[in-house]
Structure 1
């Protein structure tokens, strides 16, 4: 019996205001800066569009399939990793999305993962990991508040992973972590088995990126030799895979937003559970069930200077830290930590953390080729323009922090 862990990353950033001018922030309080630093007209428009095209119809399809197979020997189960940034926007502009996730939570066939509330790079700030832990705890409180759920499994921002991160996760009480099945880490080994972190008992589930990307990136590619991808064809591929557990993890926005409904992607999602369960040797499990059922087959050692992620071809941190603009912006964010902490102001702290959303750095990517096309699709702005605007905002934010410290 081979198990299928089907998981979805659910995230929308707060995009910065590309037209920001410092004069707009003059004399404004911290709460007013949210509508000056971020383009919330654009953010709301995108969220409402994605909710209509993806979140609501996909959630209905998932719920229908859960109900269909409920009580049977083999049930349909899925996993979600929902960012705090998305939940923050849904509370303001699309509460019906959170209601639909609550319905899924009540089925007992859905597992929710923890991540950093702000979908940030806080895990890379320092070896001390204090900021990282606080953002994780904030997300944990969110899962309890929204779904009365306490996650046992962790998925770091964009699957970012190294051995020092796992030590922090183990100390926080997590049982396992999901990360990328990167070839340079696995070597000859398969991603379809359970592993353990090096020098830790933390269990590691590795994503099968080939099978995941068949859905996320190749589904509507007419030049792909396997096009069209149908649910029965995909299920047949899974039935031929050897291993304990096949971890399929994609952006939830794949279903209706990145891949338009006209491509048949929602019909694919609707048919997939039945096609998979037609094979007696396939079953659906959540990650926590998988690590309880299976024995680990080996250790994964990922050093801090070889950090992996699920981004781009290199599956490294280059998507956010691969050029001088990104490195400079990241260092500026880190340097603000001391001043922000000294203010003892929760509103300032929260605004600084929203400026840590990893997408801000992702949009500064400059390397040509296929990865640049993906970054450009999400950004819709030139990288240099993003860099200039983002650092103008950081300059203004630092001025506001300095003013606060002078008052005190």
Structure 2
């Protein structure tokens, strides 16, 4: 009997999931646990694994189409088995678009290059589109680009990010203040600790790890920043659930480290790396991207110094970290080289004013400039 593969529910609030790419075609055999498709919903992208060994009998949901959780997206069974559907889908009456025959490698190449598969001409057996067909089409597409405007549909993740950013700007009173921290001592301490951290814990400490720890300590000292504004009430949290923004190829995810105040520096560094990796691989669970009380975002890798982070609603604060740079500084009337780290704090002016927000940012700066306080 054919096995149904359904759109999973990735969280209580999920209303729709989109098939971003099929890795298999009708008639191809699959092994149990083998990836057959990628789906995305809101800020989560994940692989769908085959629940059984067999043959792809029918694909019900084409790439780019969104469907509710629980909808059958394909059937797997024996080679010549007839599919008996339990329930017809609401959009079954729509004419089914003829599916292009294309090899998995060619499909991935076309998707990476944003090539419309329907415009490709296949020269393989039975009109199958091959890798060579995609390579042949790329120069032609570049020529057309000069005279044409491309219209690319926005995926579910991009739509969600756009909606949340507009909501954030329209429903909060955001103000950004900046400071510069002299992290010369911190970079020296980082280098001293890394040899032991790698040897003993198999973990390399980054500047982001130290900043995250400084943020956690500062939130405990300034609890007003660890809060949110909701329906005319300010809710302040005892625990720090730290969101760490992670850039993805097709958007942004903010995994959340729950009860971050309980973690040592090494434990925090491991958590940041683990969640960052899960975000890039599309393996974050719904519960791992909700409940943050403060967010940290770092654009230092892109050469950005100060910038204006947008609040992650309903949080009252977000810290942006810029790129470190060396500059001459005075220490006890002596001019020497120093390493500067730009910091940008955006806060909700409905929750707190400039003075307490500045005090919070000054505490972060103090921890970074006297990094021994981060370890004790």
The structure carrying a bigger helix percent of its residues is 1
Q: Which of the pair has the greater relative contact order for Cα pairs under 8 Å at 6+ separation?
A: 1
Q: Please, what TM-score do these two structures have when normalized by structure 1? A: 0.23
- Determine which structure has more spread, i.e. the larger CA radius of gyration: 2
